Amino acid sequence: MKKHSARVAPLSACNSPVLTLTKVEGEERPRDPPGPAEAPAPAGAEAGGRAGRRCWRCSRARLRKTFWGVAVVLCVCSSWAGATQLAKLTFGKFDAPFTLTWFATNWNFLFFPLYYAGHVCKSAEKQSVKQRYRECCRFFGDNGLTLKVFVTKAAPFGVLWTLTNYLYLHAIKTINTTDASVLFCCNKAFVFLLSWIVLRDRFMGVRIVAAILAIAGIVMMTYADGFRSHSVIGIALVVGSASMSALYKVLFKLLLGSAKFGEAALFLSVLGVFNVLFITCVPVVLYFTKVEYWSSFDAIPWGNLCGFSVLLLTFNIVLNFGIAVTYPTLMSLGIVLSVPVNAVVDHYTSKIVFNEVRVIAIIIIGLGFLLLLLPEEWDVWLIKLLTRLKVRKKEEAAEGGADLGLGPQSKSRRARPSFAR
């Protein structure tokens, strides 16, 4: 039996879901067992029965995938909004965004062990940890994960991962979580622009419009509190975080292509190892220089730190591997839905003012994000749909004209039963 696999590119910790799914194949279904002997049915009835069973299976599979999609959307929305709110709450007691970034990134090491646990539970051909590790290491090249590969391929993405999270967390200190979450949605527009320039992706006018809407939303969000207010710094930090996230995504596709689930899990675990080995010195330096200083380890809110790390880990797991059970578009909606959740929380916990300019900016950025979710062939599908509607209207008009042309005599004849004489 052939193994079916999906290939995805692991996203950055705060990356919006622009998934690089390259292939998702349907599951092989066992044949129906032969039933008891029956009288031979007509060929048309047999074909109709097969078509009906096939349609029922297809609709049931779509219903299951949609159900999982709703669950994934709720999980993405709740984990992302919860992590953002918990980070905001943590800074009231522990003002150290880089240390929080470093602590949460260390949890990336759990990606591959969690993946292997799922492999053992679901896979029919179970492999040992060493065998699975060697197979996933092929993603890095024929020689596997060497020191050279670790430095040249993993290190740049580890730096981008850290910058993405740090800039976003640092921005939360100066602006509310609603503005931060909605501004980060602009990273999808940045991904499109970089892909169009660097990867020579297909030009789409609707996505250019979406990018323009995103930029306009950023400007309006800045204008909402005034260009000279302290929130300008926070907005600039979030835009920088979205840019780092987009650069991570495009560089991954350019340098590494796409990865299977096991390869993606191993890559994200490698980023956690890189964080422990090479980034640990930064929070130590920040502590002794008193840039990020705390009085004692007992004063650290370990519950908030661990809760934030768990929510961020959950967010990344669902975002990277949720494609196995549902549609990518449904997963992307979780990011947008986190904006109203954060807005409701901010409304009751902070002094945020939702003036007209801020509301319009949120709507514009959200609209641009939704436009970027349109598939590449959306215009072809739209033309086909409009063509079918026009043909159906012409057919209905022709049938109506034919009925009028037949007159009342024809109608009375048609109304008579077939056995009447």
pLDDT tens for 200-239 read 877 777 888 888 988 998 988 888 777 666 788 999 999 9
Residue 397 burial by Cβ neighbours in a 10 Å radius (0-12, 13-18, 19+): exposed
CA–CA separation, 364 and 358 (whole Å):
10
Can you tell me the mean pLDDT for 307-320?
92
**What does the CA dihedral 243, 193, 368, 85 come to, rounded to 10 degrees?**
-20
Are 269 and 214 contacting, i.e. CB atoms less than 8 angstroms apart? no
What's the confidence (pLDDT) of residue 377?
A: 64
Nearest to 177 by CA among 244, 241, 81: 81
pLDDT tens for 242-276 read 999 999 999 998 888 777 888 899 999 999 999 99
DSSP string of 318-360? HHHHGGGTS-HHHHHHHHHHHHHHHHHHHHHHS-----HHHHH
CA–CA separation, 55 and 48 (whole Å):
10
Which positions ≥6 away from 320 have C-beta within 8 Å?
Answer: 8, 10, 11, 264, 265, 268
Are 342 and 85 contacting, i.e. CB atoms less than 8 angstroms apart? yes
Are 73 and 332 contacting, i.e. CB atoms less than 8 angstroms apart? no
Bin 229: left if φ > 0, else alpha if -120 < ψ < 50, else beta: beta
Q: What is the CA radius of gyration of the chain?
A: 27
pLDDT tens for 381-390 read 667 777 777 7
Can you tell me the mean pLDDT for 60-77?
82
Nearest to 234 by CA among 220, 219, 222, 248: 222
Are 272 and 143 contacting, i.e. CB atoms less than 8 angstroms apart? no
Categorize the per-residue pLDDT at 401 as very low, low, confident or very high, splitting at 50, 70 and 90: low
CA–CA separation, 195 and 189 (whole Å):
10
Tokens of 118: 């799922």
What's the confidence (pLDDT) of residue 411?
A: 43
Which positions ≥6 away from 280 have C-beta within 8 Å?
Answer: 102
Find the helix or strand (DSSP H, E) in which 7 lies: strand 7-8
User: What are the backbone dihedrals phi and psi of residue 8, each rounded to the nearest 5 degrees, phi first?
Assistant: -135, 155
pLDDT tens for 279-294 read 999 999 999 998 998 8
Hey, is 137 helix, strand or coil? helix
CA–CA separation, 190 and 243 (whole Å):
6
Q: Give me the sign of the Cα torsion angle 207, 211, 212, 218.
A: positive
Can you tell me the mean pLDDT for 409-418?
45
Categorize the per-residue pLDDT at 406 as very low, low, confident or very high, splitting at 50, 70 and 90: low
The pTM for the full model equals 0.77
